[in-house]
C-alpha cells in the first residue's frame, strides 16, 4: 500500500526559531501534496496544496511567508514554520496524491510541534 | 462552497449497542471518505464511497452513501471498546484538489 512518512514526528522548539517538517511518499510519486493543521479536539484544516515544481496554493488566512512550502521532487514536500510562536503549536499532517491516480490521498503520521 | 456536517459530534455508548453517525454535505461531490483517528495519531482510511447507493462493510463498521440526499452514514454494529476513536467524514470533487472534512465524531464506547 501507499506509504507517506513525516519527519520529525515530534519537535519542541523555542519561540522565534524556524522548524522544517518533511513529508515523503515512500513507494509512489506524488504530483500533489497537502498540508493540514489540527488543533486539539478539532478537525483537520487544510493549509496549502503543494504541486511539484510550482508554487503552493495557500488557503485563505494562512500566511505564506510564515508557512513556507517547497515541493522539490515527486516524493518530497517540506513545510517550514518560520519564526515559530506558541500559537503555532499544533499537529501538522501531510497527505499525498499519487501521480496518475487513484484520486485519493494518503496521509502521513503527523508531526507534533510544540513551541515554547 | 462545499461544507460537511457530521452529527453527533460526541457519542458515548455501551458495548454491544448499535449506532449511526451521519454525514451531510452541501453540494455535489464525487467521493465520500470515512477516516478513523486515534488520539495522537494521524488518519486511518476506512472507506471510500464513489456512487449513489454504495455500501461498504469492514467488521463492525458499515458505510453507505445516498448522493441524492447528500448523506452518508457510518453504522456501528455491536460496538466494542476498540472502536473508541474520532471518526471523520470528508468529501471532494474530481479536479478540485481539496478534501473537505467534517468536524469529526468522538466516539467513546464504555465497557
Q: What is the pLDDT along chain B (111 residues), one digit of tens a residue?
A: 778 999 999 999 999 999 999 999 988 777 899 999 999 899 999 999 988 889 999 999 999 999 999 999 999 999 999 999 999 999 987 666 788 899 999 999 998
Burial B72-95 (b: 16+ CB within 10 A, else e): bbbebbebeeebbbbbbbbbbbee
Q: How far apart are CA A115 and CA B54, in angstroms?
A: 44
- Does the beta-carbon distance from A103 to B98 stay under 8 Å? no
Contacts of residue A113, defined as CB under 8 A and 6 or more positions apart, other chains included, come to: A11, A13, A19, A21, A81, A84, A88, A89, A90, A91, A92
d(CA B34, CA B92): 12
Three cell numbers written together for B96: 478540485
From chain A, pick out residues whose CB is under 8 angstroms from the CB of B30. 103
**So what's the pLDDT on residue B35?**
95
Concatenating the DSSP letter of every residue in A77-97 gives EEEEE-S--GGG-EEEEEEEE
Put simply, whether B1 touches A (Cβ < 8 Å) is no
Question: Does residue B28 have a cis bond before it (omega within 30 degrees)?
Answer: no
A54 touches chain B (CB under 8 A): no
The verdict on a CB contact (< 8 Å) between B42 and A32 is no
Host H or E run for residue B73: strand B71-76
Pick from A42, A49, A112: which is nearest to B97 by CB? A49
Contacts of B97 in chain A (CB under 8 A): 32, 49, 57
Helices marked H in B1-111 = none
The answer to whether A64 and A56 have CB atoms below 8 angstroms apart is yes
B89 to chain A: which residues are within 8 Å by CB?
Answer: none
Q: Return the CA Rg of chain A.
A: 13
Residues of chain A where predicted confidence (pLDDT) is lower than 50 = none
Amino acid at each position: 500500500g501507499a506509504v507517506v512518512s513525516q519527519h520529525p514526528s515530534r519537535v519542541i522548539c523555542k519561540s522565534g526559531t524556524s522548524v522544517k517538517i518533511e513529508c515523503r511518499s515512500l513507494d509512489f510519486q506524488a504530483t500533489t501534496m497537502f498540508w493540514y493543521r489540527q488543533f486539539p479536539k478539532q478537525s483537520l484544516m487544510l493549509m496549502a496544496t503543494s504541486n511539484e515544481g510550482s508554487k503552493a496554493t495557500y488557503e485563505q488566512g494562512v500566511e505564506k511567508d510564515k508557512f513556507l512550502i517547497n515541493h522539490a521532487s515527486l516524493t518530497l514536500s517540506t513545510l517550514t514554520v518560520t519564526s515559530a510562536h506558541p500559537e503555532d503549536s499544533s499537529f501538522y499532517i501531510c497527505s499525498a496524491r499519487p501521480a496518475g491516480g487513484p484520486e485519493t490521498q494518503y496521509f502521513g503520521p503527523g508531526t507534533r510541534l510544540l513551541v515554547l | 462552497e462545499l461544507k460537511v456536517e457530521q452529527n453527533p459530534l460526541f457519542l458515548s455508548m455501551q458495548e454491544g449497542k448499535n449506532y449511526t453517525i451521519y454525514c451531510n454535505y452541501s453540494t455535489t461531490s464525487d467521493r465520500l471518505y470515512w477516516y478513523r483517528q486515534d488520539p495522537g495519531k494521524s488518519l486511518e482510511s476506512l472507506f471510500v464511497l464513489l456512487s449513489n447507493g454504495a455500501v461498504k462493510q469492514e467488521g463492525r463498521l458499515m458505510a453507505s452513501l445516498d448522493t441524492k440526499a447528500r448523506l452518508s452514514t457510518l453504522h456501528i454494529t455491536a460496538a466494542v471498546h476498540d472502536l473508541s476513536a474520532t471518526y471523520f467524514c470528508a468529501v471532494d470533487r474530481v479536479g478540485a484538489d481539496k478534501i473537505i472534512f467534517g468536524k469529526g465524531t468522538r466516539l467513546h464506547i464504555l465497557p
